[in-house]
Structure 1
Amino acid sequence: MGDDNQGPTLRIFASPGRYVQGRGALARLGELVADHGSRPLVLADDVVRGLTEQVVTDSFREAGLPLVFERFGGVPTRAEAARVAAVIGDGGHDVVIGLGGGTAIDTAKAAGDDSGVPWVSAATVASTDAPTSALSVVYTESGAFESYRFYDRNPALVVVDTQLVAEAPTRFLAAGVGDALATWIEARAVRDAHSHNMVGGLPTRSGTTLARLSWDILWESALPALEAVDRNLVTPAVEAVVEANTLLSGLGFESGGLAAAHAVHDGLTAVDQTHHLAHGEKVNIGSLTQLLMEGAPTSEVDAFAEFTARVGLPTTLTEAGLGDADDATLDRVVAAATAPEETIHNLPFAFTPRDVRDALRAVEGVGRRARARAGLGEPSAPDHG
């Protein structure tokens, strides 16, 4: 994955220029951005703008920066990135800020790259590990995965306001836990296969170790953090999980590498039945699929399924909208997940498309048993109205 010009023997680690996290961090956005430009453009959807406009306005005024918002269209497509890049050029902006979740942040990266200006990630949720990385996930207009887009630099700055994270729906933080738990599952597979990470080199020990640290923090702190966020509270557990979801998982996936969990996520986006799921929710189905493909010990698979069910993540195909899917539907998922450019090929063993489909089907039984052990009852299929 990424740029292989450096050759296969080099180990590469990538990171953003600066990472700032804490309650009220957004109030410092202006002074932090001022180090990178004097005419910023802030990309945000209407909901995020409504929640943050006052604090961002005050922050930019104190820093002596002009404030220009641009409305994010909602889907990180190539066309949306090109549109925002045109706004940057027409307005003479010299830095772009993605404000909100992973889709706005990924679009700001793409637009910044197209325009030749630095980009800043200002996260109001901790639902993905997108903010720190030098890549974007590009989707089609219908919401299906299209490709990864790689850049030669990471965000100049990442700002995460944990009070905003705590005030967002708890499901967002839970989805981030699903995204981040996959990081270690995938990084250890990439390490064992001597495969490339997302920046075109072999993983560094630090990248793989940060992936494991994210995992350890989440097993310790995810459940109390989610309980706190249910009440809009910022506790040490919340701070720890936000760091694990955003910084540690971001560094871990980019420099440690991806494998089957995210490839299965990409495959799931190819069918309409799963579009109700957040990124990290689909990734959790992918993590279970990878563990089953690996033949991981039953105790490990069952513990992971039960823990993520308690977190509130889907652990069955039923919850993903695929409980009654026929082989043809799952074959569409598998075909997308095993496309030649996909990260599933970083696994340290050979497999067939049938192996992937069988593992994906086996998730249902594993997830149902886990829900029963956790006292969560039968899984519910989504109501598509």
Structure 2
Amino acid sequence: MSASQDHPPVRTLISPARYAQGPGAIERLGELVAPVGRTPLVVADDTVWSFVGDAVARSFDAAGLPLTRDGFGVYATAAAVDSIADRVREVGADVVVGVGGGSVIDAVKAAGHLAGARWVSVPTVASTDAPCSALSVIYDEDGGFEEYRFFPHNPDLVLVDTRLVANAPVKFLVAGVGDALATWIEARAVARGDGTTMAGGAPTATGTALARLSWDILWEHALPAIDAVRDHLVTPSVEKVVEANTLLSGLGFESGGLAAAHAIHNGLTAASQTHGLTHGQKVNIGSVTQLVLEGAPVEEIRAFVEFTTRVGLPNTLTEIGLTPGDVDDLTRVAELATAEGETIHAMPFAVRVPDLVDALRSIEGFSRRVRADAGLPEPVPHRAH
């Protein structure tokens, strides 16, 4: 949403109608879905359904809800969205429930909007802030970024069972930390300029503050939470990090603003070398690069590289399958990241393709030096799959 010259953008905050989190929360799904709709369609892939299906069935039975479950593929593609929307109409569903990762949740939101149904997000991992938002990221069949789709409202319910999160592979929690760390870096950049947010207006102080709160929680609790999830434990640190990754980052990015980091992520999806990486891993490359573009204090960038290395996130091109010498590939990344409508244009200064290419190429040497000085491991090359 852009403002006219006569009417400056209003400040706005949007959020899910209800957020519920805790160990065993999946057992209450039916109870919390029932006020939203009485004829649900649940969408979950076979792997996810193998460990949540019984609990969902029990909760729906207790709430007097019928259970219809459809499977899901890999990416939230336009075709997947259309297919789910067709099924919503076919079964007469008034609410569609996405259970699993960010792709199925994004596909369900977009399908619910197309079919005129409400939607509910049930992430089984804390790997992105997608569950809370009123937008979906649509990809092509190979995982390349295609477009954002925006909706008139957020999910009616977001339910996170932290026991499921703790039992998932730790790489998903790490990815969520990478996605959420960008929230404050981007929100503060938007607040310095006159950019608009995904909520369709200027950033609110509340959205910006929630982005900062997410950052503060992660710096204090990410490492102990990651250790706990490696052992499939739910601790107070795990609860805080799940909330930071999912709710605080979701509210913070949507009502605080996105900037360069996520635009760089979108650009990186065009490089086949990065396929197989999580959303949060690519976003973290965007965060380091944004800090370089901003001319942030060197000690701040150094601390970020050290911390994200300890978390297990990439901060060099090597770790995402690229090198500083891949100038043609990095130029394509930069061209996509700076395309019209991309969030990089919310930065408080213009970012040109050559500037972005140089910033991307520079993070390799800087991060390697920081890691060596701190006695941290050298980067391990990523092999696309």
Normalised TM-score (structure 2): 0.97
Query: Match for residue 156 of structure 1?
Result: 156
Query: Match for residue 54 of structure 1?
Result: 54
1:215 partner SS: helix
Query: Match for residue 376 of structure 1?
Result: 376
Q: For residues 154-193 of structure 1, what are the structure 2 equivalents within 5 Å?
A: 154-193=154-193
Aligned residue pairs: how many?
384
Query: Match for residue 126 of structure 2?
Result: 126
Query: Separation in 2 of the partners of 1:267 and 1:155?
Result: 27
Query: Match for residue 314 of structure 1?
Result: 314
Query: Separation in 1 of the partners of 2:291 and 2:200?
Result: 25
Q: Do structure 1's residue 205 and structure 2's residue 211 form an aligned pair?
A: no
1:159 partner SS: strand
- Post-superposition offset of 1:26: 0.6
* Paired residue type of 2:114: D
For residues 116-171 of structure 1, the C-alpha deviation after alignment (integer angstroms, 9 at most, x for no partner) is: 11000001100000000000001011110011100000000000000000000101
For residues 296-352 of structure 1, the C-alpha deviation after alignment (integer angstroms, 9 at most, x for no partner) is: 010000000110010000110000000265211111100100001100011101232
Query: Match for residue 32 of structure 1?
Result: 32
Q: For structure 1, list consecutive stretches of 5 or more residues without a partner in the other structure.
A: none
Query: Match for residue 251 of structure 2?
Result: 251
Q: For structure 2, list consecutive stretches of 5 or more residues without a partner in the other structure.
A: none
Query: Match for residue 15 of structure 1?
Result: 15
Conservation of the 8 A alpha-carbon contact between 1:310 and 1:374: no
Query: Separation in 2 of the partners of 1:57 and 1:344?
Result: 43
Query: Separation in 2 of the partners of 1:361 and 1:344?
Result: 18
2:243 partner SS: helix
1:119 partner SS: strand
* Paired residue type of 1:160: V
Query: Match for residue 73 of structure 1?
Result: 73
* Paired residue type of 1:120: V
Query: Separation in 2 of the partners of 1:282 and 1:4?
Result: 31
Query: Separation in 1 of the partners of 2:325 and 2:131?
Result: 34
- Post-superposition offset of 1:235: 0.3
For residues 330-384 of structure 1, the C-alpha deviation after alignment (integer angstroms, 9 at most, x for no partner) is: 1110010000110001110123211000000111122212332443322111234
- Post-superposition offset of 1:4: 5.4
1:339 partner SS: coil
Conservation of the 8 A alpha-carbon contact between 1:162 and 1:234: yes
Query: Separation in 2 of the partners of 1:206 and 1:146?
Result: 30
Q: For residues 210-249 of structure 1, what are the structure 2 equivalents within 5 Å?
A: 210-249=210-249
Conservation of the 8 A alpha-carbon contact between 2:272 and 2:384: no
1:285 partner SS: helix
- Post-superposition offset of 1:194: 2.0
Query: Match for residue 274 of structure 2?
Result: 274
2:107 partner SS: helix
1:366 partner SS: helix
2:198 partner SS: coil
1:20 partner SS: strand
1:93 partner SS: coil
Query: Match for residue 292 of structure 2?
Result: 292
Query: Separation in 2 of the partners of 1:383 and 1:317?
Result: 12
Query: Match for residue 349 of structure 1?
Result: 349
Task: Rate the CA distance shift 1:147–1:384 in 2: closer, same or farther, 3 A.
Answer: closer
For residues 87-125 of structure 1, the C-alpha deviation after alignment (integer angstroms, 9 at most, x for no partner) is: 010111110001011111000000100011100000110
Conservation of the 8 A alpha-carbon contact between 2:275 and 2:384: no
**Aligned CA-pair RMSD:** 1.3
Conservation of the 8 A alpha-carbon contact between 1:4 and 1:200: no
Query: Separation in 2 of the partners of 1:367 and 1:276?
Result: 22
Query: Separation in 2 of the partners of 1:243 and 1:86?
Result: 33
Query: Separation in 2 of the partners of 1:123 and 1:163?
Result: 12
Query: Separation in 1 of the partners of 2:349 and 2:301?
Result: 19
2:335 partner SS: helix
Conservation of the 8 A alpha-carbon contact between 2:13 and 2:207: yes
- Post-superposition offset of 1:3: 6.5
1:65 partner SS: coil
1:31 partner SS: helix
Q: Do structure 1's residue 337 and structure 2's residue 324 form an aligned pair?
A: no
Query: Separation in 2 of the partners of 1:29 and 1:270?
Result: 37
Task: Rate the CA distance shift 1:325–1:102 in 2: closer, same or farther, 3 A.
Answer: farther
* Paired residue type of 1:208: T
Task: Rate the CA distance shift 1:303–1:224 in 2: closer, same or farther, 3 A.
Answer: same
Conservation of the 8 A alpha-carbon contact between 1:20 and 1:159: yes
For residues 249-283 of structure 1, the C-alpha deviation after alignment (integer angstroms, 9 at most, x for no partner) is: 00000000000000000000011100121000000
Q: Do structure 1's residue 367 and structure 2's residue 346 form an aligned pair?
A: no
1:96 partner SS: strand
Seq. identity, %: 60
Conservation of the 8 A alpha-carbon contact between 1:323 and 1:381: no
Query: Separation in 1 of the partners of 2:265 and 2:18?
Result: 29
- Post-superposition offset of 1:62: 0.8
Normalised TM-score (structure 1): 0.97
1:319 partner SS: helix
Task: Rate the CA distance shift 1:166–1:373 in 2: closer, same or farther, 3 A.
Answer: farther
